[in-house]
């Protein structure tokens, strides 16, 4: 990749490739009826959008422990398909990647 010396790395997005996105269609009529009922009900009083709870009992579960890197070659089978060995070997093996 060019320009290795430059201290400024831009976040410019150059290329994006997304495989087909799963899409499904439903009829709008039913949602419209519900929206109408909702509009009628909330016309009387505005709906509160976000509430910040007064207190909470929730506990915080630590993030999943980082899994150790496994040998790439042993596992390479299905997902990477026909990618060549040299490409595969250059995948980032660091944990957490970013």
52-91 positions binding another protein, by CB under 8 A? 52-61, 63-64, 66-72, 75-84, 87, 90-91
- Cβ–Cβ < 8 Å for 95, 69: yes
DSSP 43-75: HHSPPP-----S-----PPPPPPPPPPPPHHHH
Pick from 5, 7, 85, 98 the residue near another protein by CB under 8 A.
98
- Widest distance between CA atoms in the chain: 66
- Sign of the C-alpha dihedral computed for residues 38, 43, 45 and 48 taken in this order: positive
Rg (CA), the chain: 25
Q: How far is the CB of 13 from another protein (least distance, A)?
A: 5
Q: Is 1 in the site for another protein (CB under 8 A)?
A: yes
Q: How far is the CB of 77 from another protein (least distance, A)?
A: 7
Q: How far is the CB of 88 from another protein (least distance, A)?
A: 9
Binding pattern for the stretch 22-51 against another protein, x by CB under 8 A and - elsewhere: xxxxxxxx-xxxxxxxxx-xx--x-xxxxx
Q: Is 92 in the site for another protein (CB under 8 A)?
A: yes
Residue tagged 């009529």 (tokens): 29
């Amino acid at each position: 990749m060019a320009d290795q010396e430059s201290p400024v790395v831009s976040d410019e997005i150059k290329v994006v490739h997304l495989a087909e996105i799963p899409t499904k269609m439903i009829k709008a009529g039913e949602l419209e009826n519900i929206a109408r009922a909702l509009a009628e009900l909330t016309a009387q009083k505005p709906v509160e959008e976000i509430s910040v709870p007064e207190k909470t009992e929730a506990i915080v579960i630590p993030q999943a422990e980082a899994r150790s890197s496994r040998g790439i070659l042993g596992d390479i089978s299905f997902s990477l398909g026909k990618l060549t060995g040299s490409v595969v070997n250059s995948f980032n093996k660091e944990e957490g990647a970013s």
